[in-house]
Structure 1
Amino acid sequence: MDRWKRIQHNIHLRQAALRSQHDNARAPFMNRYFTNKQGAIRRIIDLKRNGPEACGATVVGEHKDGREVHGLEQVLFHLRIGRIAHFTCSSTFVQEIVFVS
Structure 2
Amino acid sequence: MQEDSAASGWLVYLVRTAAGSLYCGVTNDMERRFREHCADGPRSAKALRGRGPLQLVFTYPAADKQQAMQLEWQIKQWPKARKEALVSGLIGLDAIIS
Same fold per superposition (TM over 0.5)? no
Greater helix percent: which structure?
Answer: 1
TM-score (norm 1): 0.28
TM-score (norm 2): 0.28
Greater strand percent: which structure?
Answer: 1
